[in-house]
Structure 1
Amino acid sequence: MNSLAILVLFLCGNLKIALSETPEHLKLNPESRSAIRGRWYPRPEEITLTYRSNPLEACRNLVGTSKPSLCFVDSSTAYYYPRSCSEILQSGGNRSGIYAIKPRGSKEPIEVLCDMDIQGGGWTTVQRRFNGREDFYQPWRAYKFGFGNLNGEFWLGLQNIYQMTGSEQYELLIELTDKEGITGYARYASFAIAGEKDGYNLTTLGAYSGNVGDALSGQLNAKFSTLDVDLDGIPGDCAKYFEGGWWYKDSICYVCCLNGKLPTIIFTDQQRWNGINWDGFRGKEYNLSGSRMLIRPRRN
């Protein structure tokens, strides 16, 4: 009788089990070995991840040593996607790159850019600008679903951000770069936005730490606005004036904005206020050369 080997891809509370390679010491028939291959976390081709879980020990713990370990791989549900970049890091994936994750509440997995190096790693990048090649003066639909290229400049999408921050507690890290290449950061202990029916309102922003000053707290409880959807609650249209979608609020529109249109070489009065601005880092009228927004589940 052929030996039957088991691969368990199972969720029980916080238990996650996956293989990074087929264990060669197991006696598998061709069908079983074929079923096992490819059931690990999706990741960039150049990255080889190792996982700490022993599937046979886990299976014994799950079904009990007195019962035969009979498990079946359902091809329609066999792939287990991690919920976040942080979960990938905790499972042994310590290389930054593009991964597929499936946040709680999401119907389909999404590709994200994970940073496994900065401030403990496990961060999901939701915004990145560094060369001005991507136009951030986009309509509501684009900001909702995301635009750009994960290998370049991009906005991950308000709906994706909402699904992540609405399903568990997240923190926010903002990295800023000036024209001389000097970087600074702002970190917020908690971060969440509401859903589309509430205008993707910036509902939660925890305690600040960093070296660029707290410029984002002034946008707390602001709804998101774009060139075709004005939810800033004030006369005029901040998104059109500053040419980018953001959480605009009050008569001055913002204290920081990372999505404004990057200016031309010759500045007009308006262009001094466009671009990537953070009041506490080089001043509100200074156009920074780059920014990143990253989120991560809070670590208790």
Structure 2
Amino acid sequence: MLLIITAFTEISADFTDLFVHIRNKVLSSHDDELIGGITPEECAQKCLEGTTDVPEGECLSFDYRKVVGRCQLSRDNKDTAGTALDYNSQFDHYEMKDIVGFFSEHADQALGGHDDVIVTPPTVSPRTCALRCLLGEGSLSVGSCLSFDLDSRGPRCMLSEDNQNTAGQALDSNSRFDHFQRSEFCIPDPCVHLHQSCTNQVNGFTCTCDPGWEGDSCDTYTGTITPQNCADLSAMGIQTSGTYHVGHPQPFQVSCDMDTDGGGWTVIQRRQDGSVSFDNTWDVYVQGFGNVNGELWIGLEHLHSLTSQQQHELYVYLENWEGTTKFARYGTFSVGDSTSKYTVTISGFTGDPTLTDDLAPTITHHSINGKMFTTKDQDNDGNDVNCGATFGPSGWWFPPSCGLALLNGQYLTGCSSSSSCTSAQGIVWKNWLGYRYSLKKTVMMIRPSGFPGKYKI
């Protein structure tokens, strides 16, 4: 559905759209204020609106420590600090975009008689006025401010729901003012569902909605299509973990986790009791096997279908026999089609601070990124031995070393801290408990990146 917006409706914005998101990087030694128990979206809003320690207009970037949910506001970015960002998998760095660049400037001119809201930030500048216009102020909701005049004598920001086009009048010459007319309407993105696109128009934006979604901002589910994944189900208001049907045009049954980190996760693999053998052939791994309510492998064809339409993230839950749990998370995860032998793309590791990246480490000899899938009857790993036949046996994306994480290995109950089993035959996360320890439980889950910020009804 194509909708051209001439009169704005109120928009629930994700203010991280106003920042460049740089994964696994941090601006070291530039944390001017620390705020705990907060989301990246809330942190972005703090940076934009200002706080007691970092007032409005002073914040240029923030670092977000993902595991503990801590926001670190900074008056600098990498350019003003004159330093490069440091690699740290526990953090993501957010740098504010050129906000003033979202407006066209008309020096020594004003839009007379259209000062709907007048504001005086602590420091009046094009940047602080532009922020007030974008964030909304008073009677002007987010997205409804089309222009502003900067009064240098006041000094003050004069925000308007009109521009010279909607007002039908030319700008007045006045050396006291500079006029700024908004030209970027898709940042922050007003189209709230991930399956959409936003296009700038002269006086607003166009949302192109996917089938099954409608409304000015693609925010209303019509119920006319089958949800494509568990995140879609969550967007429809389903918040209970369980078994559901997803996919179009041929729906299939999946297990949805609606509890972990906001929910919306589609379970692609689960090991918990050894009730299902993972010693299977290529065709079985392609189609999938197991019990959707218990141990399962969703199938390579379903994995490709789920991850080929939009970017996904991967969550890996790990539990040992002593009751200790850990998790790994990857910002990017996708699986190719059958012609690629279901090649996996995976990167952006975060997770438990004490857990090492065993799926896509920087040492490429051990990384599964870019590797084809291998089973005991179809060897695509490029090694001297068939890793799938040697370890498990099982199906997996095996790197040159055959891997550090072997999550589809045999379910072995005697491999714990007190007694070890044959090396690399069980369910293994090597750099946590070693090759001879087989884990009690693992769950692999995926969901579209950016959830839940752009998934709303």
Residue 351 of structure 2 aligns with an amino acid whose one-letter code is: G
Contact 2:420/2:436 (CA < 8 Å) preserved in 1?
no
Task: Compute the displacement of 1:279 (Å).
Answer: 1.9
Which residue number in structure 2 is paired with residue 5 of structure 1? none
Question: Given the alignment of the two structures, is residue 210 of structure 1 paired with residue 359 of structure 2, yes or no?
Answer: no
Following superposition of structure 1 onto structure 2, how do residues 164-179 of structure 1 map, counting pairs within 5 Å? 164-179=306-321
CA distance in 2, matches of 1:190, 1:263: 30
What amino acid is aligned across from residue 206 of structure 1 in structure 2?
S
Cα distance in 2 for partners of 1:226, 1:135 equals 13
1:207 positional shift? 1.0
2:396 alignment counterpart = 246
Pick from 261, 273, 280 the counterpart of residue 131 of structure 1.
273
- Name the CA shift for 1:79/1:16 in 2 (closer, same or farther; >3 Å): closer
For the residues of structure 1 that align with 2:291 and 2:414, how far apart are their CA atoms? 25
Partner of 1:285 in structure 2? 436
Q: 1:162 aligns with which of 281, 301, 304?
A: 304
In structure 2, what is the Cα distance between the partners aligned to 1:96 and 1:265? 31
Larger RCO (CA within 8 A; separation ≥ 6) = 1
Distance 1:107 1:283 in 2: 43
Which TM-score applies when normalising by structure 1? Answer: 0.71
Q: Is the 8 A contact 2:415 2:437 kept in 1?
A: no
* 1:280 aligned counterpart, secondary structure: helix
| TM-score when normalising by structure 2 | 0.47
In 2, the alpha carbon distance for the partners of 1:138 and 1:221 equals 22
1:223-273 residue CA offsets vs partner (Å, 9 max, x unmatched): 1111110111011111111111000121x3111110011236489997331
User: Are the structure 2 counterparts of residues 53 and 220 from structure 1 closer, same or farther at C-alpha, using a change threshold of 3 Å?
Assistant: closer
- 2:299 corresponds to 1:149: no
Q: Do the aligned partners of residues 54 and 178 (structure 1) sit closer, same or farther apart at CA in structure 2, a change above 3 Å counting?
A: closer
Distance 1:176 1:297, change over 3 A: same
The equivalent of 2:423 in structure 1 is 272
Question: Relative to structure 1, is the Cα distance of residues 271 and 168 closer, same or farther in structure 2, using a 3 angstrom cutoff?
Answer: same
- Counterpart pick for 2:329 among 179, 182, 187: 187
Which protein shows a greater Rg? 2
Conserved 8 A contact 2:313-2:331: yes
* Residues 1:220 and 2:361 aligned together: no
Stretch deviating more after TM superposition (255-264 or 144-153): 255-264
Q: Relative to total residues, which structure has the larger strand share, 1 or 2?
A: 2
The AA in structure 1 aligned to 2:296 is F
Question: How many residues matched?
Answer: 230
Q: Supply the AA of the counterpart residue of 1:233.
A: G
2:408 to 259, 278, 282: 259
Does the Cα contact within 8 Å between 1:263 and 1:271 map onto a contact in 2? no
1:173 Cα shift? 0.4
* Alpha carbons of structure 1 residues 200 and 266: separation in structure 2 relative to 1, 3 Å: closer
SS of the counterpart of 2:447? Answer: strand
- Structure 1 counterpart SS, 2:302: helix
Q: CA RMSD in A?
A: 2.5
Distance 2:262 2:221 in 1: 26
C-alpha change, 1:169 and 1:269, in structure 2 (3 Å) is same
In structure 2, distance between residues paired with 1:298 and 1:192? 11
Residue 121 of structure 1 corresponds to 263
Change (3 A) 1:233 1:269: farther
Question: What is the deviation of 1:161?
Answer: 0.4
Whole-Å separation in 2 of the counterparts to 1:174 and 1:137: 21
Q: Give the distance between the partners of 2:270 and 2:308, measured in 1 at CA.
A: 22
Q: What are the ranges of 5 or more consecutive residues in structure 2 without an aligned counterpart?
A: 1-195, 197-207, 361-366
SS of equivalent to 1:219:
coil
Per the alignment, do residues 279 and 126 of structure 1 end up closer, same or farther by CA in structure 2, a change over 3 Å counting?
Answer: same
Aligned residue number for residue 239 of structure 2 = 94
Give the distance between the partners of 2:422 and 2:411, measured in 1 at CA.
8
Identical positions, percent: 33
Matched position secondary structure for 1:239: helix
> How far 1:133 sits from its partner (Å)?
1.2
CA distance in 2, matches of 1:225, 1:53: 42
The alpha carbon displacement at 1:283 in A equals: 2.3
Matched, 1:81 2:226: yes
